[in-house]
Structure 1
Amino acid sequence: MAPVGPDVLERMFAAAIEAALPGHCLPPHLPPPPKGRTIVIGAGKAAAAMAAAVERHWPESSRLEGLVVTRYGHGVGPLARIEVVEAAHPVPDDAGQRAASRMLAMVAGLTADDLVLCLMSGGASALLALPAPGIDLAAKQAVNRALLRSGAGIHDMNCVRKHLSAIKGGRLAAAAAPAEIVTLLISDVPGDDPSVIGSGPTVPDATTSAEASAILRRYAIEPPPAVAAWLADPASETPKPGHPAFDRARTVMIATPFRSLEAAAAIAREAGVTPLILGDAIEGEACEVARVMAGLARSCAERGHPASPPCILLSGGETTVTVRGKGRGGRNAEFLLALAVALDGNPRIYAVAGDTDGIDGTEDNAGARLDPDTLTRARAAGIDPVAALIDNDGYGVFSRLDDLIVTGPTRTNVNDFRAILIR
């Protein structure tokens, strides 16, 4: 039997994305129409596609209206009953602020006969930007940029975001009560915690303002005076578990990173390759994760442990990059470049890494591919891979080698996908 080709890795990446597309995973979870009105609100990179799926499957006889906000370029065109607006990600802008303000107004004054259908996916935290009282958008943008560059994990970032917001951390649910609230979630966070996805506008928040302040200190971020003053104010606390605003609220997880990894694993099995899912919640610096993965891949190649070749190591989660250089990065490109350096041209190992939303960080690629000759080709092109890694220039390396994976916006997001083939 001929050895499996590395093209299986990109087919697995496509399968992981397919499993999380709203058109497939959302319709089975729609609630029945209420006696009164149905207000659809939502945010995230999948928000437009989720709204389109709701419209296609909602009864024509039942009243439906709403507003969702997605990232620039992630829309699906105009819908008949739900308005779609676009805003900035990962640093929020005025368009996201206006959308969030309108959503709060839309859910005000609802009754127990009404339904709020909340559609949340990755990216919602930045897109649903409504600063808390006394904080302007510029101050919130400054804190967000500092967190993005600090290497902070998504849980820490969203703890801060919730406590600087007038809509996140359960505040939207408080505004919508006593209406029924059903939140449909596409998870992009390690552990699939509903309070972290989009910073949980419709779910209780167990974190505190004191924790948010501590996170800023931990990453040596000096907040603007208005931010520091607000976090010291008791009014900055979010609604906690047990708050009556959540008595008629429920959440449904319609797509998760693990389900997407399982879909990818099925493609590997069909190709005659053993898949080993290492986990869907792997965090840490991209370079450090790469070194660990390189060690596991070499162990498979040389010792047949933890899996015997041909095999594929699968993992998901969200790595971070502490930016110190001036190159064009993306955490998946950084991971792959660090993996290439650590493997040093091992002839039996190939890899693919990408973000399932189609955008690796802020670049125009989803990810990239790695072959045994990646370092050789880079050096032949005059590239010093180690210097490029120090400069956080993974994108630049894989772009010059024509090894970027470009999908365009996928309109879903179940976090990063990593697959390493050992032949």
Structure 2
Amino acid sequence: MQFSDYTKEFGTNLKIAFPIMLGQLGHILVALADNLMVGQLGAAQLAAVSLGNSLVFIALSIGIGFSFAITPLVAEADGQGNIEKGRLHFHHGVIMCAVNGVLLFVTLLIAKPVLYMLDQPPEVVALAIPYLEIVALSMIPLMIFQAFKQFADGLSQTKYAMYATILANIVNVLFNYVLIYGIWIFPRLEVEGAAWGTLISRFFMLGLLIFMLSRKRKFKSYFFWDGASHIRLSEFKTLIKLGFPTALQMLFEVGVFTAAIFLSGILGTNAQAANQIALNLASMTFMIAVGLGVTGTIRVGNQKGKRDYPNLRRIAFSIFILCFLIEAVFAVGFIVLKDWLPPFYIDNPEVIFMAAQLLVVAALFQLSDGVQVTILGALRGLQDVNIPTVICFIAYWVIGFPVMWYFGKEAQMGVQGIWVGLLVGLTASATMLYFRFNYLSKKLISGV
């Protein structure tokens, strides 16, 4: 097969992925707005947002992982032209995500004491607790939003969630500004103000997405409700069968990045602040890969529904190649701009120096991280989730974490050693997942 057979799919891939990229980037921009505005208050405040979000991101990974089950099921039904089947997946997905949102909110409140047990600076923990309490409530609207988003993504209608996310970011920045610094009639809440801005913006985002989807003809037949008899236990089982392993995949990855936050916190407030800056920048470029990963789920799911396996493999590889090329550009950018980007966050020479060092390592793992998330997306489109979950656990926690723990000690490489461990884990994940997809796609084509 010629290289042009892959590159000719780039346009279609980007058309689907671009709104997802912007939408996912919007979620990161919420954290970016918090970091930039709170960073002006000092290193302890910035570290507090990082610490509070560490638990939120774990909960978020679980909830989003479950919601990801909706997309391949809807995409496969769409490929088969089966609206009724897609409608069942959508409705049950909304119920599942709403319940998850409530459970995650309660879990975060119960988990607050954990922050005191992580050997973090006391002043940072004191600021992080009230921030966590407020942001925890935003899990409910965010999870319901995810259900509607993943449903629309499954129909390749990715722009509506993007619109809602972008407008919600404007709302977030506005309320951040007035509540963090106490502008006009609003009280000066500092770190808590950032949390309130996030909460308000997520309720706004959910309401706007529901409003847009319910008014479009494309979605009318999916919004029809049959009554209580419409609920089927088998649908929930199908969603959980796909969603639970996917949630574990995300938990394993987010968990190892959260471990990086905790390990850097042990090294001190400055190391934790530097880690947060580098992590926030890397997360923004990672959202590009996430967009292509969801595109892989959608397009592979469509081809699976059509039973067109040769094109399924070709399209999937076109997404892998496109992501690698894009992430390579970001890698070069991180190396070139490593001394220019951190000062946007904070005016602390030691934090800036450490963050610049981390960006060099981040530049390298951009490639592995991008490849592994797109392959995971393609495997999700095949509804293959169990073996990839085992692969993720081995890569991040059996291979990557021990490297983080050993080289992340102050006597070794410090905070830079933590990121070397992340690089090793992500590279192991990308390699093993590639072999898994290569095996499965060849097996489908041969009909064995």
Task: Determine which structure has the larger helix proportion and give its number.
Answer: 2
TM-score when normalising by structure 2: 0.27
Task: Determine which structure has the larger strand proportion and give its number.
Answer: 1
TM-score when normalising by structure 1: 0.29
Question: Which structure has the higher relative contact order (CA within 8 Å, separation 6+)?
Answer: 2
